[in-house]
Amino acid sequence: MSILTKRSLHPRLLRSSLQGFCRLLSMEPAEEAKKSAAYAAVDNHVKTNQKLGIGSGSTIVYAVQRLAQRVQDEKLDVVCVPTSFQARQLIIDNSLVLSDLERHPQLDVAIDGADEVDKDSNLIKGGGGCLTQEKIVAAAADYFVVIADSRKDSQILGEKWKKGIPIEVIPMAYVSVMNKLKKIDRSPELRMAKSKAGPVVTDNGNFILDWKFTKVPESWAEMNQTIKMIPGVVETGLFINMANKIYFGMPDGSVSTR
């Protein structure tokens, strides 16, 4: 509805329309930032005859769109290995060649997003619940590229990402894992689904715990290892010393790298 018709609107409806319009405007810089980072990563790191890992999340949508455009325009010969059901559908919907780690266990480049990046390029991932497959694909690549908007850039993990460290667990063990994590810091939360009754279930059939830590450890590598040694833990959302290059999209469309 046009704002020009505001005189005919009830004040409450007018406020609602204006708020929605303002939200739309506020989203545009963030989306522009995601797109800039994604395009820069694809342009700088994708070449013909490569095997690519395709990550998950909202920023990856722009990366796949740019990849599809380059494949069409430049006749690139690439195969794509997805990290999730979402990534698989993106690859198919954009008419790219779909593969897997059985056929291509060694990848040239993996491109993925992040929920937070600290000054040492450590990551928190798994806000979308795909952390295990994302880490497997990233580890299979010779070069791991991370794309994010500048809001994900922090000095320390937990500075901006307040939802905690995602931890994928075997369903039968989630209470036991929660109790053991509570002894380290505080008890994590079982991630609940928004459109169904019950917890979120990953592509692997597991549950997700979100651990909102209060104490920043001296070593994230040691903390990651401690969590992974708890029986029932499948994987953590801590990606330590894995990223080779990070692209941060800025609100003005520019890109900074680390």
Residues with a known catalytic role: 134
Query: According to the 3-state scheme, what is the secondary structure of 37-99?
Result: HHHHHHHHHCCCCEEEEECCCHHHHHHHHHHHHHHHHHCCCEEEEECCHHHHHHHHHCCCEEC
Facing residues of 78 across strands?
A: 50
Torsion (CA) 151, 157, 160, 165 in degrees, nearest 10: 110
Show the tokens assigned to 37.
């980072």
Report the alpha-carbon distance of residue 148 to residue 139 in Å, rounded. 19
First and final CA of the chain: distance in angstroms?
Answer: 43
- Measured from the Cβ of residue 199, the count of other Cβ atoms closer than 10 Å reads 16
